[in-house]
Structure 1
Amino acid sequence: MSSTTVVIGSRVGLHARPASVFTHAVAQCGITVMLTDAAGSTINAGSILGVLAMGIGYGDVITLSSDDEAAESVLASLAELLERELDRP
Structure 2
Amino acid sequence: MASRQVSIASSVGLHARPAALFVQEATSTGLPVTIAKEGAEPVDARSILAVMALGAKHGETVTLEAQGDGADAALDKLVALLSRDLDAE
Stretches of structure 2 lacking an aligned partner (at least 5 in a row): none
Stretches of structure 1 lacking an aligned partner (at least 5 in a row): none
- Offset of residue 67 of structure 1: 1.8
Equivalent positions of 1:1-89 (< 5 A) are: 1-88=1-88
- Offset of residue 88 of structure 1: 3.7
Partners of 1:66 and 1:10 in 2: CA distance:
22
SS at match of 2:12: coil
Partners of 2:60 and 2:22 in 1: CA distance:
15
- The count of residues paired between Structure 1 and Structure 2 equals 89
Which ranges of 4 or more aligned residues in structure 1 deviate by more than 6 Å? none
Partners of 2:50 and 2:88 in 1: CA distance:
22
The root-mean-square deviation of aligned C-alpha atoms, in Å, is 1.0
TM-score by length of structure 1 reads 0.94
TM-score by length of structure 2 reads 0.94
* Corresponding letter in the other structure for 1:31: L
